[in-house]
């Protein structure tokens, strides 16, 4: 049975932990607000760029750009994983790593067995996990979210494009968390390459005169589209991470509060028992002296 001193030490330790979790929750809430704003601001441009390129590729010959041409026989797959740099965010990293592992070892099991699956990992947690388990990692970007910059997204997109053009990847998939709300991030595995043609849904869209030419427009749009999409996914993942951390720290603070309540009750009961025991000993001693 724990002594009064043991209970006091536990209460002091839990109070210290509770102060840390409260501070981390406040920091995560501040970061979430900025990350959410950046993610929401990136969506319209990325969406319109994707719509424009999809509409254009549906009307012109996709052979104008190799990145628009899909390959029927997929032998090599590149998986881009966007995870977090740090922990203490609940099951955020665990869930996204599980999804990436499922994509690699189950969805593309045949390619994985033949050594045809490689990865690009953004974020320390995903990079460390797959590196330690011997997965083929082309490039790693640990600590990328400490100073999130568009140049990293551009570099990832350029690496993926170069591998696709060289035939080192027949499909490029991005695994990330899409931010929907504080309590409901959505795990996603989206195809980045090849770029799929999309129908606008308008039957009478008419014919257009392209200036300078469809090929030149596509060549200009494709790199911007890929960089923008990777950047949007990184912003979405960053916002989802901060939301997960804020929720996890809030739960930890509430759990500490409940644990403190239970320990205080135990402490008071133990103290009352000790006082009662001392009184009983005093009374017994007084009775012994009288006799």
Give, in order, the Cα–Cα distances in Å from 163 to each of 60, 117, 276. 24, 12, 78
Task: Please give the span between the terminal C-alpha atoms of the chain, in angstroms, as a whole number.
Answer: 35
- Label each residue of 258-271 as H, E or C: HHHHHHHHHHHHHH
Among residues 255, 73, 231, the alpha carbon closest in space to that of 145 is found at 231
Instruction: Answer whether 113's CB lies under 8 Å from 209's CB.
Output: no
Among residues 118, 121, 124, 50, the alpha carbon closest in space to that of 87 is found at 124
Among residues 240, 245, 249, 244, the alpha carbon closest in space to that of 82 is found at 240
Q: What is the distance between the alpha carbons of residues 278 and 284, in angstroms, rounded to a whole number?
A: 10
Which of 89, 97, 156, 239 is the catalytic position? 89
Instruction: Answer whether 145's CB lies under 8 Å from 84's CB.
Output: yes
Q: Write b or e for each residue in 235-254: b if 16 or more Cβ atoms lie within 10 A of its Cβ, otherwise e.
A: bbbbbbbbbbbbbbbbebbe
What are the φ/ψ torsions at residue 262 (nearest 5 degrees)?
A: -65, -45
Catalytic (active site) residue 89: yes
- DSSP annotation string for 41-88: HHHHHHHHHHHHHHHHHHHS-GGGSGGG---SS---EEEEEE--S---
Catalytic residue numbers read: 89
């Amino acid at each position: 049975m724990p002594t009064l001193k043991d209970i006091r030490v536990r209460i002091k330790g839990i109070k210290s932990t509770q102060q840390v979790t409260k501070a981390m929750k406040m920091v995560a809430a501040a970061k979430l607000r900025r990350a959410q704003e950046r993610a929401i601001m990136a969506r319209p441009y990325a969406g319109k760029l994707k719509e424009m390129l999809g509409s254009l590729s549906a009307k012109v010959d996709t052979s104008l750009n190799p990145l628009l041409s899909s390959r029927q026989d997929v032998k090599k797959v590149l998986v881009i994983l966007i995870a977090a740099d740090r922990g203490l965010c609940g099951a955020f990293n665990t869930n996204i790593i599980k999804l990436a592992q499922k994509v690699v070892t189950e969805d593309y099991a045949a390619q994985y067995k033949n050594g045809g699956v490689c990865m690009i990992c953004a974020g320390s947690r995903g990079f460390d996990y797959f590196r330690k388990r011997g997965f083929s990692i082309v490039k790693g970007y640990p600590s990328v979210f400490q100073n999130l910059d568009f140049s990293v997204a551009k570099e990832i997109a350029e690496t993926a494009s170069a591998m696709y053009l060289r035939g080192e990847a027949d499909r490029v998939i991005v695994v990330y968390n899409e931010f929907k709300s504080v309590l409901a991030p959505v795990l996603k595995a989206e195809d980045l390459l090849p770029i799929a043609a999309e129908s606008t849904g308008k039957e009478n869209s008419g014919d257009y005169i392209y200036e300078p030419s469809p090929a030149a427009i596509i060549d200009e749009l494709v790199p911007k589209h890929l960089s923008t999409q990777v950047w949007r996914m990184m912003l979405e993942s960053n916002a989802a991470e901060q939301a997960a951390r804020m929720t996890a720290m809030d739960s930890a603070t509430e759990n500490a509060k409940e644990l403190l309540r239970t320990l205080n009750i135990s402490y008071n009961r133990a103290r009352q028992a000790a006082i009662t025991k001392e009184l009983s000993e005093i009374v017994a001693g007084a009775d012994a002296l009288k006799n």
